[in-house]
Structure 1
Amino acid sequence: MNKKIQVWLPLLFSLTMIVGMIFGYQMRDNMPGKRFFSLDKSTPLQEVMDLIKSRYVDDVKVNALGDTAIMAMLSKLDPHSVFIPKEELQGVNEDLAGKFFGIGIEFNIFDDTINVINVLPDGPSFIAGLQAGDKFIKVDDSLVAGQKITSERVRKLLRGDMGTKVVITVLRNNTKKVFTVNRDAIPIVSIDAGYMLGGGIGYIKINKFSQSTYREFMQTLEKLQAQGLKELVLDLRGNPGGILDEATEIADEFLDGDKLITYTEGKNFPKKEYRCKRQGLFEKGSLVVLMDEGSASASEVLSGALQDWDRATIIGRRSFGKGLVQEQYDLSDGSALRLTVARYYTPIGRSIQRSYTNGGKAYYDEISNRFHDGEVFSADSVKNDTSKLYKTMGGKKVYGGGGITPDFFIPIDTGNYSLSATKIYLSGTIGDFAYKYYLQNLQQLSAYKTPAQFVKGFSFSEADWNAFGALAAKDSINLNAIPAKEKSEMQLRLKASIARQIWRSEGFYEVYNTEDNALKKAVEELLK
């Protein structure tokens, strides 16, 4: 018996090893990680990189060459497959995570000095005692005043690991003060504003879809419902998208039953359906969604589902037209690849993705061409792909292959600004003036307890306008001859920017929205 075992033993070992290798490769291919390794022989690309490294006449940064090669490869795919260098990855991940670790201030640099513009309520700097108007002298041992410091350098000095300390020396009312601030998690909010417009109508503006968006949205929706919310305006203008799951979770709050919200599918990505799975908080009230050419990706998933099920009225302009799904894969050197793996489709099967067959430049130029071709000014100029005609569940005609076309078109009203007005909006002068005005008029402004009171009670005087004109003149901008309409628009922006100093982004939108044509149309539709 022992002799028979000895004869068969090598074969048994071989079979066991082969079975083990098969299972090992299968397990590797199905591992739920984000890194992929290959045992294949070197590719020509790797061989060229190795030859450059070992044989080239001069010293070269091989890693930078590799990054360039990767970007060149991706440029042959689609416009949304991108390589993220190591030094940029943290910022990208923080934006999606909806938080970073820092001290909780907004700052700007005036006259080569870091000025505290706003302090996050109950944040680390608020607790330490920093105030709007403080001017930074030192961060730890680094002198920062008068050093031609950049915003990027400031962020690197102020951010760090949670719980670590940073000592900040500031100038306040000509007195030097020192504060020790404990770094903590600082939210990157995705809800810019959520307030009642009156008559049971609420307004919520979402600026992106991060990991915290659904939670923020639910908190805002519940707050408005406690104030008597019956109908809602959801503002997705300028929202570039983000995390798909967050958009589908919000869609679930508007749609009943087990309705299909979207589905994704790709060559190496099996079909995946996203369906409603619970009773939503706002399944019955009337709903309007505001969109424009800056609304993309997850914004289009959400609005496309609501349009297909005839759940919402879409108002604004044709959306961006991004219907591709990306997954992010971490690479060995700390960089990452965000690769398109699937397309998403609306409930009735529409792909929102615009054509990119003419390359990335033509793809992105299409947005600016909407201005040149008049599409953003006239509904008659909208270029829908009529070969991709669909019908919603209620029988309304809609289109695929080019974004979401609104039910009601609202032209852009900022396309014919004078040169002086354009310079003002690009220069940052409005924000600078609002900050200085806020510091100089704290007592007057403290009388307004809410943005609504500020809207009704505050007016921009001629003396204020002249002071603003003098500040603009320092940047070689002459406001003496701008048209009355542009002056009125600029004064509204100034008023809203002052409100931002007091109540942050919600204050800005509650003031600025008072003259918003798309919002006025939304309210008109809801009151029918």
Structure 2
Amino acid sequence: MILRKYVLVSLGLAGLSLPLKAQVNPKEKLWQTLKAIQGNYVDSLSDETLVNAAIAGMMRQLDPHSRYFSGEEAAQMQEAMKGNFAGIGIQYMMQNDTLYITQIVPGGPAEKAGLQAGDRITAINKVPVKGETNFAIMKKIRGEKGTSVSLEIHRKSGGEQFARDIVRGTVPDRSVRSAYMVNDQTGYISLRIFNETTRNEMDQALASLKAQGMKNLILDLQGNGGGYVQAAIGVADEFLPKDKLVFYSVGKNKGKDYYYTGGFGSFMEGKLLVLIDQYTASAAEILTGALQDWDRAVIIGRRSFGKGLMQRPVPVFDGSVLELTGARYYTPSGRSIQKPYHGDTYNDNAQTRLASGELLHADVVHFPDSLKYSTLIKKRTVFGGGGIMPDKFIPLDTVEHNGWLQNVAAHDLTGKATFDYLDSNRASLLASYNDFKTFNRQYTVPDYLVQQVVGAAEKEGMPLYPGSRDRIISLLSLELKGRLASQLFAGNDYYLQVINTDNASLQEALRVLEKPAAYDDLLNGAAKQPAEKKKTGKSH
């Protein structure tokens, strides 16, 4: 009977609220809801918790790229985009409650203090590291520049146990992941993000490669998810003459803002090829679109992500930040590359495209005539409406993205195997291979090390089945060699140099450069264009 009365009272209250519905101010409704929850909900919830949930709900009504960041999250995001941080200059891994140093940043505080790759950190500020998470360790090692951190070190090679007080300094967090000469005339630069130091890093990388005889450049934007738009303009300036439009944006009031090059670049001439894939997004697409529209570069790979929205940070008084989409951007030819963002599959980019066949076949993507544009110099046909289409399509290697390899990486089985191997063989390897070039040319990963990873995977419930086994073993061996190189030789991302020997897009770029006519044909539009939708005579 009590339950029945409660239900009747609830229904009665609901009925009383109906006549007032038209008179309620939506903002007042939000405030009333907050008060109602605080006064009637069975559990206690803070105002901050409820307000944050309300803000998150509002963000979900916008586009997928408008987001809310708490004060702490906003500070972390800003720190990540500076291009440096205050720390001691090490890379590390946590394995079986032991913290191993895998790499020392050259010239950093750790190197100056005498630390070496392979050292074990047993305690930080006299607190044992056992049981700590990677994030907790990072917070302890990083800090204010000029402050010190105390580390207790065990060095297996000499059986030493010692302590070091290391003063934190500025450690670069580079956006140029790797820059090296692929052959006598061709340079390679991998750009992982666009941050505050990107332009300076590009200046340095280009100067170094040109000093080594670079005539052609391969710019790798595969996996580059974007960053600061200003940095993308700066990189475009490296390759395009003065006063060339990089992109324009259209905001809420429909006014247009135009962004041009300044003419201060260092690689205005010479063949340029840009590598992209389904993860290339945002600022990376701005750069790619500008270079394609001005017929400055040949684009190789797969259709990019398709993010053509610009976010602007709007600070809130408590230090939190609303990152709101304030404009849409367009390439110099007028293309919008934003793909539709309604539906649940927007961020499930790779799986959706793989299921459609797009990542495997060039002729799967179809564009209507309304999305057809022309490049500005050679008048090639290009398309808008969802990412940048490459001039030369490279299908996805489905074995490389095999679930077994992904699971092995997720469990870091290769990381543990390489560290254990180096722990016993570092000195002998460095004696046999005194530099990276010698190592890369002569070293072969022993079969027992590969089988060790396969065995470890089986113990984790991930057996390697016969299908594509040889190819998977080959890729696993390459991964191990890359990891060994990156831990043996500090100063550059040697991992990428090893892995790139099997990068299909990079190898195709080199083949294009071997035949001058092939490069010219692609810039003149001789490559097969994506199919256009046939007109049916119906209007929509």
TM tier, shorter chain?
0.7 to 0.9
* Match in the other structure for 1:364: 347
Query: Which runs of no fewer than 5 residues in structure 2 stay unpaired?
Result: 1-24, 516-540
The residue identity in structure 1 corresponding to 2:494 is G
The residue identity in structure 2 corresponding to 1:377 is L
Distance in 2 separating the partners of 1:342 and 1:111: 48
The residue identity in structure 1 corresponding to 2:473 is K
Report how far residue 279 of structure 1 moved: 4.0
* Match in the other structure for 1:491: 477
The residue identity in structure 2 corresponding to 1:235 is D
Distance in 2 separating the partners of 1:288 and 1:420: 32
> What aligned pairs does 1:87-126 form with structure 2 within 5 A after superposition?
87-126=72-111
Report how far residue 520 of structure 1 moved: 1.1
* Match in the other structure for 1:424: 408
Report how far residue 50 of structure 1 moved: 4.5
* Match in the other structure for 1:466: 451
Distance in 2 separating the partners of 1:224 and 1:441: 33
Report how far residue 164 of structure 1 moved: 0.9
- Native 8 Å contact 2:146 2:169 kept in 1: yes
Runs of 4+ in structure 1 deviating by more than 6 angstroms, as ranges, are none
SS of match in other structure, 2:248 = strand
* Match in the other structure for 1:15: none
SS of match in other structure, 1:97 = coil
Distance in 2 separating the partners of 1:84 and 1:266: 22
The residue identity in structure 1 corresponding to 2:315 is D
Report how far residue 58 of structure 1 moved: 3.7
The residue identity in structure 2 corresponding to 1:499 is A
The answer to whether structure 1 residue 167 and structure 2 residue 150 are counterparts is yes
- Native 8 Å contact 2:345 2:352 kept in 1: no
Report how far residue 474 of structure 1 moved: 4.3
Measured against aligned partners, the alpha-carbon deviations of 1:306-333 in whole angstroms (never above 9, x if no partner) come to: 0001100000000000011111122222
Report how far residue 47 of structure 1 moved: 4.3
The answer to whether structure 1 residue 287 and structure 2 residue 281 are counterparts is no
Measured against aligned partners, the alpha-carbon deviations of 1:372-395 in whole angstroms (never above 9, x if no partner) come to: 111111112234455311011211
Measured against aligned partners, the alpha-carbon deviations of 1:28-75 in whole angstroms (never above 9, x if no partner) come to: xxxxxxxxxxxx996432443345446655421221221111111111
- Native 8 Å contact 1:320 1:367 kept in 2: no
Q: Which of 387, 397, 402 is the equivalent residue of 1:413?
A: 397
Report how far residue 183 of structure 1 moved: 1.4
- Native 8 Å contact 1:210 1:243 kept in 2: yes
The residue identity in structure 1 corresponding to 2:243 is D
* Match in the other structure for 2:241: 256
Distance in 1 separating the partners of 2:210 and 2:48: 54
Distance in 2 separating the partners of 1:310 and 1:304: 10
Distance in 2 separating the partners of 1:305 and 1:420: 38
The answer to whether structure 1 residue 134 and structure 2 residue 119 are counterparts is yes
The residue identity in structure 2 corresponding to 1:524 is R
The change in CA–CA distance for 1:50 and 1:379 in structure 2 (over 3 A counts) is: same
What is the alpha-carbon root mean square deviation over aligned residues? 2.2
> What aligned pairs does 1:136-215 form with structure 2 within 5 A after superposition?
136-145=121-130, 148-173=131-156, 174-215=159-200
SS of match in other structure, 2:81 = helix
More moved, 400-409 vs 151-160 = 151-160
More moved, 43-52 vs 290-299 = 43-52
Measured against aligned partners, the alpha-carbon deviations of 1:414-435 in whole angstroms (never above 9, x if no partner) come to: 3576654443233211122222
SS of match in other structure, 2:346 = helix
The answer to whether structure 1 residue 507 and structure 2 residue 490 are counterparts is no
* Match in the other structure for 1:11: none
Distance in 2 separating the partners of 1:268 and 1:46: 30
SS of match in other structure, 2:182 = strand
SS of match in other structure, 1:338 = strand
Distance in 2 separating the partners of 1:164 and 1:416: 44
Count of aligned positions: 485
The residue identity in structure 1 corresponding to 2:385 is G
Distance in 1 separating the partners of 2:500 and 2:340: 34
Distance in 2 separating the partners of 1:378 and 1:72: 39
The residue identity in structure 2 corresponding to 1:407 is D
The residue identity in structure 1 corresponding to 2:419 is Y
Report how far residue 334 of structure 1 moved: 2.3
Distance in 1 separating the partners of 2:356 and 2:161: 56
SS of match in other structure, 1:435 = helix
* TM-score with structure 2 setting the length: 0.85
* Match in the other structure for 1:389: 372
Report how far residue 479 of structure 1 moved: 4.5
The change in CA–CA distance for 1:170 and 1:302 in structure 2 (over 3 A counts) is: same
Distance in 1 separating the partners of 2:136 and 2:319: 21
Distance in 1 separating the partners of 2:269 and 2:305: 28
The residue identity in structure 2 corresponding to 1:226 is A
More moved, 386-395 vs 189-198 = 386-395
The change in CA–CA distance for 1:385 and 1:61 in structure 2 (over 3 A counts) is: farther
* Match in the other structure for 2:528: none
The change in CA–CA distance for 1:390 and 1:82 in structure 2 (over 3 A counts) is: same
Percentage of identical aligned residues: 38
The residue identity in structure 1 corresponding to 2:477 is Q
More moved, 82-91 vs 148-157 = 82-91
Measured against aligned partners, the alpha-carbon deviations of 1:122-181 in whole angstroms (never above 9, x if no partner) come to: 112222222222222221132222xx2111111121121111111111222243211101
Report how far residue 249 of structure 1 moved: 0.9
The change in CA–CA distance for 1:449 and 1:331 in structure 2 (over 3 A counts) is: farther
The answer to whether structure 1 residue 526 and structure 2 residue 513 are counterparts is yes
The change in CA–CA distance for 1:337 and 1:418 in structure 2 (over 3 A counts) is: closer
Q: Which of 257, 260, 266 is the equivalent residue of 1:275?
A: 260
Query: Which runs of no fewer than 5 residues in structure 1 stay unpaired?
Result: 1-39
- Native 8 Å contact 1:105 1:116 kept in 2: yes
* TM-score with structure 1 setting the length: 0.87
- Native 8 Å contact 1:389 1:398 kept in 2: yes
The answer to whether structure 1 residue 78 and structure 2 residue 55 are counterparts is no
Distance in 2 separating the partners of 1:420 and 1:320: 25
The residue identity in structure 2 corresponding to 1:435 is F
> What aligned pairs does 1:220-259 form with structure 2 within 5 A after superposition?
220-259=205-244
SS of match in other structure, 1:193 = strand
The change in CA–CA distance for 1:386 and 1:94 in structure 2 (over 3 A counts) is: farther
The residue identity in structure 2 corresponding to 1:526 is L
Report how far residue 241 of structure 1 moved: 0.2
* Match in the other structure for 2:421: 437
Distance in 2 separating the partners of 1:209 and 1:102: 21
